[in-house]
Amino acid sequence: MGMTTPQVVVHRDKELMAQATAARLITKIVDAQAARGSASVVLTGGRNGNGLLAALAVAPARDAVDWSRIDLWWGDERYVPADDPERNHVQAREALLDSVPVDPARVHVMPASDGPYGADVDAAAAAYAAELERASGPEDHGPVPTFDVLMLGVGPDTHVASLFPEHPAARETERTVVGVHGAPKPPPTRVSLTLPAIRAAREVWLLAAGEDKAGAVAVALGGAGGVQAPAAEAYGRSRTLWLLDRAAAAKLPSGLYSPTS
């Protein structure tokens, strides 16, 4: 599957970016449910991912979504106890999931360190890979479902999910989910989708806001490789969309995007 050329959308500030992305996501989910009966979305941790979920929770069109017909997955998770406030799942619950009627059987939470795999984060990652494989069908042509939308926050070092520059997880070409040891962003132990799993998505949306992201955005969109800059090789089968605020776009060459409000 070839790489899709990234499209860049720049919003005035991170609040507007969250609201516009929430509206965009609602439309995508409604369209997927109309076309295929259900939707599948991969959530990201981090401030921008949670900001988007919080904006979705108060969006006027939120009830256009049939929340019982959506599969939710995670791009990465912090390998800490299930109730730890550091968990991406706990933060997503607070931001949105506790206030919409999702089907708990379709909320695919990554394992936690107090779960069945204990300290063995690699076994936890393998279990999530198996769950993805069970959810994929012949039409997916691989061990991962064709997610409708997969969202990723971009770190100031160009990491996405828990794929950090030069780390083994960023080099993975076979496995779809890996355990991450010694992540530079705390907590150090994490579970992450790999680049091959990310690329199974129809659409990949990368979110970045704030001036501390401007360098990472410019490097990733400037032709860097995926081991040095994992965000550079996160792309979707049919669309790769970078959703930025002006501060995060500040170091992009003008001409790469048209200014929007």
Ligand X SMILES: O=C(O)[C@H](O)[C@@H](O)[C@H](O)[C@H](O)COP(=O)(O)O
* Contact pick of 19, 21, 40, 48 for ligand X (by CB under 6 A): 48
Q: Which stretch binds ligand X (CB under 6 A): 1-9, 31-39, 47-55, 118-126?
A: 47-55
- Helix/strand/coil (H/E/C) assignment for every residue in 162-186: CECCCCHHHHCCCCCEEEECCCCCC
- How would you list the strands of the sheet with 177-180, edge to edge? 76-78, 190-193, 177-180
**Unique residue bearing structure tokens 């939707």:** 39
Q: Among candidates 183, 175, 154, which has minimal Cα distance to 44? A: 154
The type of residue at 252 is L
What's the CA gap between 49 and 30, in Å, rounded?
20
Kindly tell me which residue out of 155, 179, 230, 236 binds ligand X, with binding defined by CB under 6 A.
155
Q: Is 158 in the site for ligand X (CB under 6 A)?
A: no
Binding track, positions 185-224, relative to ligand X; x by CB under 6 A: x---------------------------------------
Using the rule CB under 6 A, which residue among 9, 24, 30, 47 binds ligand X? Answer: 47
Note whether 165 binds ligand X by CB under 6 A. Answer: no
DSSP 219-254: HHHTT--TTT-GGGG---SSEEEEEEETTTTTTSPT
Buried b vs exposed e over 201-229: b needs ≥16 C-beta within 10 Å? Answer: bbbbbbbbbeeebbebbbbbbeebebbeb
User: Which C-beta is closer to ligand X: that of 95 or that of 160?
Assistant: 160
CA distance 153 to 240: 13
Binding mask 97-136 for ligand X (x = CB under 6 A): ----------------------------------------
230 interacts with ligand X by CB under 6 A? no
**Angstrom distance (rounded) from CA 151 to CA 178:** 18
Contact between 226 and ligand X per CB under 6 A: no
- Beta carbon nearer to ligand X, 140 or 196: 196
- What is the residue type of 150? L
143 binds ligand X (CB under 6 A): no
Binding piece for ligand X, criterion CB under 6 A, among 31-39, 42-50, 141-149, 193-201: 42-50
Least distance between ligand X and beta carbon 245 (Å) = 11
Binding site for ligand X (CB under 6 A): 44-49, 76, 78, 88, 153, 155, 159-161, 185
